[in-house]
Amino acid sequence: MNIIVMGGRGLVGRNIVERLRSQGHEVSIGSRSSGVDLITGRGLAESLVGIDVVVDVSNSPTFDDIASFEFFKTAGFNLLAAEKRAGVKHHVSLSVVGTGRLEASPYLRGKALQERLIRSSGVPFTIVHATQFFEFLLDIVNYAVRGQVIHLSPAFIEPVASDDVAATVARVAVGAPINGSIEISGPERGRMSELIQRFVIDIEAPYEVQTDVGATYFGAALDEFVLLPREDAERGALRFEVWWKLSEYARADW
Ligand SMILES: NC(=O)c1ccc[n+]([C@@H]2O[C@H](COP(=O)([O-])OP(=O)(O)OC[C@H]3O[C@@H](n4cnc5c(N)ncnc54)[C@H](OP(=O)(O)O)[C@@H]3O)[C@@H](O)[C@H]2O)c1
């Protein structure tokens, strides 16, 4: 199959590219560093010539401001219009569990709009919703830290290894479009504040975690269950403790 991975140089994208190439597929990468810009449209039409499947794992450079909403709006519009013109047979998009339920977050409002653009595009599609990557826990810390204190919601989360998500997206990319969504989460459930507390201890960061039911998550207030996946979600196999021991974070000198 001829596949292009938009965002194929990112965390989950490069893993997907490697998996698909090792299965013998012809895989190209769409990202600004490879000459494709989803915002300006530079190189986009050319990149889709002869492509059967587009995997979109591009990402906004920011998480907590209106620019993230604008990124998904513009990139989604440009990409799907170009795919329609090129006759792409399957659009696969990686989105976030909770999208559509957290409109106060500009980032997740952007992901919700991206999903609506996909559903109305006329291009056959599959949307994969994933929970927070283990790697993303550090971004949550950076978002929530004020001085030495991290204010976090006690909402439940089921974080997942990006490697497990990449495996699911790569499998979906070579399957038939379902014109709907599937979900993947991690093997364990915990409260965000408690899981981050463990993470902060693991990385030996000098922060105090405070549980705060009013703490926002990238702009959105959370109820306890809003970040949990559907009953029929796939479960990633890698447990946090195992991922942690294998990760670069465990070896880093914090
Ligand atoms: N992190 C999580 O916990 C999580 C959970 C669920 C779902 N997701 C979703 O997973 C996706 C991938 O996340 P990630 O963390 O792997 O992303 P990432 O590491 O930030 O990578 C982003 C990719 O997007 C490309 N990109 C950025 N701006 C672009 C533009 N204007 N045109 C073309 N390419 C552009 C970047 O390459 P260049 O800089 O070279 O352009 C890079 O390859 C996102 O859609 C995110 O919503 C993430």
pLDDT recorded at residue 251: 67
| Nearest atom (ligand 1) to Cα of 29 | 43
Averaged pLDDT for residues 36-41: 98
pLDDT band at 203 (very low <50, low <70, confident <90, very high): confident
Our answer on whether the CB atom of 96 is closer than 6 Å to any ligand 1 atom is yes
pLDDT recorded at residue 254: 55
Count: domains in the chain: 1
In 3D space, the residue among 221, 230, 223 whose CA is nearest the CA of residue 105 turns out to be 221
The CATH code of the domain that includes 49 is 3.40.50.720
pLDDT band at 247 (very low <50, low <70, confident <90, very high): confident
Residue position matching structure tokens 């979906």? 172
pLDDT recorded at residue 253: 61
Our answer on whether the CB atom of 10 is closer than 6 Å to any ligand 1 atom is yes
The Cβ-side half-sphere exposure at 74, using a 13 Å CA radius, reads 14
User: What's the CA gap between 44 and 217, in Å, rounded?
Assistant: 33
Averaged pLDDT for residues 96-112: 95
| Distance of CA 58 from the midpoint of ligand 1 (Å) | 4
pLDDT recorded at residue 118: 98
For atom 14 of ligand 1, the residue with the nearest CA is 11
pLDDT recorded at residue 82: 98
Which of 40, 59, 115 maximizes ligand 1 atoms within 8 Å of its Cβ, making it the mutation to test the pocket?
A: 59
Least confident window among 167-171, 197-201, 232-236? 197-201
pLDDT recorded at residue 64: 76
Q: Is the per-residue pLDDT at 252 higher than 70?
A: no
Domain range spanning residue 148?
2-251
pLDDT band at 68 (very low <50, low <70, confident <90, very high): very high
User: What's the CA gap between 79 and 44, in Å, rounded?
Assistant: 8
Averaged pLDDT for residues 84-90: 98
Please, what is the average pLDDT of the chain?
A: 95
pLDDT band at 231 (very low <50, low <70, confident <90, very high): very high
